[in-house]
Amino acid sequence: MSTNKLVPISAALGFAKVPAEIVLSNSTNIYGKMNGNTNFGAPQTLPLPFDLATLKTANDALQAAISAALGGDRHATAQRNREREAVVKLLVQLGKYVEANCKDDMTVFLSSGFTVRPSGRTQTPPVSETIRKVQSGANSGDMQVTLMSFPGAGSYELRWAQVPAGGGAPTAWNSRPTLIIKKPITLTGLTPGATYVFQARALTNIGWTDWGDPLTRMAV
């Protein structure tokens, strides 16, 4: 008689540690995968913990809050953080539900849009598809940006700009080419308290990729 046991599948639910933009990207994907998913919900499994329209509404509110906070306004930033927290709470509830109702079937689990929590030592998820992390440097006005590897890339380009006071897209960018992605790129001379937007792209044998999604951070 076989003594093999099914290994419970755990969802990666560390959304509280990632930026609002990444939370929104994950939540939008999960909503799309769960909406109409016949693997979950009665009669196949227990009813969902909440109507999925609730998650869609929370996603829309977070999207609007992220856009409003691009100008660096303190109140808008606080509202973005509140909307982010609301989405994270819903994702944690939904993730626990998927864990309990996927019957430890990996195909069913992955159909939800959630990812599996890695075993052993975990790594902090990248903040975008082109940038691994952005953090403050040793001195005021310094930022350190670490890029993501792109298959077949021979070099990379990072660009950054201060977000206009009234919000909207920057009109003047600074840029820096680089061959190294394992170490952070240190940017100096940024204005403390100002919000900056960062993007990166890669150069392959067929040309430059598109710029990655814009990522905003406040210089300190």
Contact status, residue 163 vs residue 199, Cβ threshold 8 Å: no
Query: How high is the pLDDT of residue 120?
Result: 55
Strand partners, 199: 159
What is the value of pTM for the model shown?
Answer: 0.56
Contact status, residue 132 vs residue 63, Cβ threshold 8 Å: no
Phi, psi dihedrals of residue 135, rounded to the nearest 5°: -145, 160
Least confident of 64-68, 70-74, 144-148, 170-174: 70-74
Contact status, residue 152 vs residue 72, Cβ threshold 8 Å: no
For the chain, the average pLDDT equals 87
pLDDT over 60 at 24, yes or no: yes
pLDDT digits (tens, 9 = 90+) for 107-158: 999 999 988 886 655 456 677 778 888 888 888 899 999 998 888 888 999 9
Least confident of 20-24, 58-62, 145-149: 20-24
Pairwise CA distance, residues 1 & 137, whole Å: 59
- Confidence class for position 69, pLDDT limits 50, 70, 90: confident
Contact status, residue 126 vs residue 212, Cβ threshold 8 Å: no
Query: How high is the pLDDT of residue 1?
Result: 39
Q: Which of 175, 220, 217 is nearest to 22 (CA)?
A: 217
- Confidence class for position 159, pLDDT limits 50, 70, 90: very high
- Residue 193's H or E segment, with its range, is none
Strand partners, 118: none
